Amino acid sequence: MEILGATLRICVDDLETAVPFYERLADGTALRFERGGVSVAAVGCFLLMSGPPAELEVLRKVAATIAVKDVDETLAVLTELGAHIVAGPIASPAGRNLIAMHPDGMVYEYVDRRG
């Protein structure tokens, strides 16, 4: 399993106010999309999310998004290591993803760009 990088997940009250700060900080332009009633802006290593409190409560339980070369391979490794697969693999705007709870209780999203 090849890990390509990680993205920090940040829930914000006002996406429009937060995006310019993170664009300047990361020296990049945000890629924006909507998912399940949540507005998302990806910029650099940051994933900003804003939306209904109930939706954000669920999203806050995921510690980080980890980019991997292949979600299927990641699924096999996580399963072998005793992780609990919470959701996926499924297609998402960023690529295929899955959400897994590690044996220590930490929850992570894994995503590849294979589409």
For residue range 16-39, list pLDDT tens digits in order. 999 999 999 999 999 999 888 899
pTM summary value? 0.82
Is the predicted pLDDT of residue 93 greater than 80, yes or no? Answer: no
Beta-bridged to residue 107, according to DSSP, are 101
DSSP 8-state secondary structure symbol assigned to residue 4: E
CA 9/CA 70 separation, integer angstroms: 21
Residue 113 confidence (pLDDT): 79
Residue 115 confidence (pLDDT): 55
For residue range 43-57, list pLDDT tens digits in order. 999 999 999 998 998
Q: Is the peptide bond before 52 cis (omega within 30 degrees of 0)?
A: no
For residue range 55-90, list pLDDT tens digits in order. 998 889 999 999 999 999 999 999 999 999 999 999
Hey, is 89 helix, strand or coil?
strand
